[in-house]
Amino acid sequence: MHGPISLDVRERQLLLDQEAVVLREAA
């Protein structure tokens, strides 16, 4: 069962990583 769900999880992880990087740069 790996379809849109797996893609959503991947996108979520990527977004979280990007947010973490932005927070690090801001801090």
How far apart, in whole angstroms, are the C-alpha atoms of residue 27 and residue 1? 39
| pLDDT of the residue at 6 | 84
AA letter at 1? M
| Secondary structure class of 27 (helix, strand, coil) | coil
**Which pTM does this prediction carry?**
0.57
6-27 mean pLDDT: 92
Q: For all residues of the chain together, what is the average pLDDT?
A: 88
- What φ, ψ does residue 6 adopt, rounded to 5°? -60, -40
Q: What is the pLDDT of residues 16-25, one digit of tens each?
A: 999 999 999 9
